[in-house]
Chains A and B, each alone.
Chain A
C-alpha cells in the first residue's frame, strides 16, 4: 500500500469520487452498531408524524460514510487527524430496493505545516447538499 505523499498534491487536487447508497436495512444496521435508536431513523409512521417525508438517514451514518472518499484514497484511515461536518439537509430513505444515493467528491483546499492537508468533501443527494462544511485534515507522507 502506497501512502499519498505531501509533495505530490496541491490545492485543487481532486480525490476519486464515489457514490454510496443507503437502504432501510443500512439504517437499521447503523442504529444497532452505533446505539442511536432515534425512532425517526426506522419508523415511517413517526417520521411522517413529525413532518418528514419518510425515515431519514442518521447524520452520523452519512458523515461516517462520506469520509471513505478520503480514507480509501489515503490507504490508512488513522491518518485522519480532524474531521468535521454540519448536518444541513436530511436524507429520506424510501422503502425500496434502490434506497437513497449520495454522490461524494472531495478535493484538497489547503496545505498545512508538517505535511498535513485539508480536504473539503461534497455530499449531494438529489442535487442537494446534505452535509456542509465537511472538512478533514489528513497527515500525508513527506
Chain B
C-alpha cells in the first residue's frame, strides 16, 4: 500500500534527553573495533581541540534509530514494520558529538516515494544540544517492501 504523500513534512515531538556518556562512546567504539585515542582518552581528545571524548561518525544511530521508531510505528502512516528494511543512511555532522552532550532529536518525514512496488520513506532527525545548537542531521531511508514482490 502506497504511503500517502501528505505525510511529507510531518514532524514529531522532540525526544527525551539522551545524555552522551564517556563509557557509552568507549563501548560503541570498542564494538566497531576502533581504538582511536580520541574515543577513549580525554587528554587525546583535548589535544585535538575538543572539550571531551568525541563520538565516532555513526554514533548518532544509537539514539536516532530509536527516535525514528515514532515514524515506523505511527498508526496513521500504517507502515508494516515487519517489512521495513534499512536502505540508506546519511550523517551530516555540524560538529562532532561530545561526551557530556545532552541531546534531543526531532524527527520528521523528509520524503516519500514508491519504486518497484516498495515504499521508500526518508526519516530526518535533527539532533540538538541543550543550548539549541544543531549538532547533526541524520537521514535514514527506510524501505517497506511491497506485498507480492518475488523476493
User: Residues on A close to B: CB < 8 A?
Assistant: 1, 20, 26, 29-30, 32-36, 51, 59-61, 63-65, 67-68, 71-72, 76-78, 80-87, 133, 136
Contacts and interface: CB of A to CB of B under 8 A. Distances in A.
Nearest to A30: B31
B33 interface: yes
A83 B90 contact: yes
Interface residues of B, number: 36
A81 B92 contact: yes
**B contact face: mostly helix, strand, loop, or mixed:** mixed
Given A67-B57, A71-B34, 10 more contacts: A33-B28, A34-B61, A60-B61, A61-B31, A77-B39, A77-B57, A78-B48, A78-B95, A82-B93, A87-B86
Contact of A68 (B32, B87, B92, B96): B32
Contacts of A32: 27, 31
Given A34-B62, A35-B66, A78 B54 contact: yes
Nearest to A76: B48
Contacts of A76: 38, 48
Contact of B65 (A29, A36, A71): A36
Given A77-B54, A77-B56, A83-B57, A34 B31 contact: yes
B4 interface: no
Given A26-B33, A29-B30, A71 B57 contact: yes
A45 B36 CA distance: 36
A77 B38 contact: yes
B58 A83 contact: yes
23 contacts: A30-B31, A32-B31, A33-B28, A34-B28, A34-B31, A34-B65, A35-B65, A60-B61, A64-B32, A64-B34, A64-B58, A67-B56, A67-B57, A76-B38, A77-B54, A78-B50, A78-B54, A78-B95, A82-B92, A82-B93, A83-B93, A85-B89, A87-B88
A48 to B, nearest CB: 15
A78 B94 CA distance: 10
A60 B57 contact: no
Contacts of B62: 33-35
User: Which 7 pairs show the lowest CB-CB distances between chains A and B?
Assistant: A33-B31, A84-B90, A78-B96, A64-B58, A30-B31, A80-B57, A86-B88
